[in-house]
Amino acid sequence: MYKVGDIIEQRCFTGGARFVRVEDREDDIKNGRPGFGGTQVDKDGNEIKGSFGSGVWGYDIQVARVVKRG
């Protein structure tokens, strides 16, 4: 399982994937389901800023793997 500070690979519901540096974990991230919040990064841990910033969130079921332990 992943922890705060880890970089994870998140499988998006649209079929793509992204890397996220986990900044918090919650028992109810949305709709009563556990998940995480964090910053989108590249595979080396460098922040990726999009048009809406770099903050992302997801459900635990979307975590494909831990890429790097924090």
Per-residue pLDDT, 50: 81
| 64 belongs to a structural domain | yes
pTM for the model stands at 0.92
Q: Tell me what percent of the residues of the chain surpass a pLDDT of 90.
A: 87
| 51 belongs to a structural domain | yes
Domain range for 19 is 7-68
Tens-digit pLDDT string for the chain (70 aa) = 999 999 999 999 999 999 999 999 999 999 999 999 999 999 889 999 887 888 999 999 999 999 999 9
How many structural domains comprise the chain? Answer: 1
| 26 belongs to a structural domain | yes
| 1 belongs to a structural domain | no
Burial of 19 (0-12, 13-18, 19+ CB in 10 A): buried
